Structure 1
């Protein structure tokens, strides 16, 4: 077998492996949260903004994101509970461990436990995570959100 064919087969094999890992969801469980770690500035304003977000009623119609609200109150409450538990955890942990890796680890745990399967609610869940990131001054999730939502780090390609 020629060297070129071996290279082509190896390349196709790597692509097939990446697709399989993405499609099965395995990439999410393997995705690291500590890469690019750094400190987060935790100020009284930061904590107040997180507490304000915690107090909001969530998963209601949000025209700015073309979200029409959860399909029923049971789904809305379940989805809101996921965000509120995450916020409670962050408010408790950030003063002791103000690191990006801790925040992403909390995000990952919240994503794993997010039990609502409708795609609109999953997208809106990510909107809340983005709001938290803005409050904390985090420019990105290191592709964690794309890997959770789609199985692949699409930001690497676009």
Structure 2
């Protein structure tokens, strides 16, 4: 039987929540699905404070007892077509030891609840095509490729780094 877990919105001002956000994101960044490199010392030292300074950001944490085991970072944006907020799910991380237990799904449900509370009209996320378990989860809970007109195809996620990273 799977161990019980809990999910809740992170409080960036609470030292244990701030540490959990950083530690879980560092574990994700170090995983091949997150790029395979740990967070820089700068990010570790500043992430929680910078998230707290942005009212459009929120995170959801999952706990196995007192141990933080999962993280979802969300950033509110704006849908110009609907003239309402949207929420981008920027990171979904579950410790390898706790994957396959429904933790990501529960965290995303809480992230969605908060998005609805904020008046968001949709949620977006990006996922690497090779992350098959994540793609299956996202499709199962209602995410799909973005398109306006099927004749124009689906959107592609692209990036351009600005300045020194």
TM-score bin, normalised by smaller chain: under 0.3
| Structure 1 or 2: more strand by fraction | 2
Calculate the TM-score normalised by the size of structure 1: 0.27
Calculate the TM-score normalised by the size of structure 2: 0.26
RCO higher in structure (CA 8 A, sep ≥6): 1
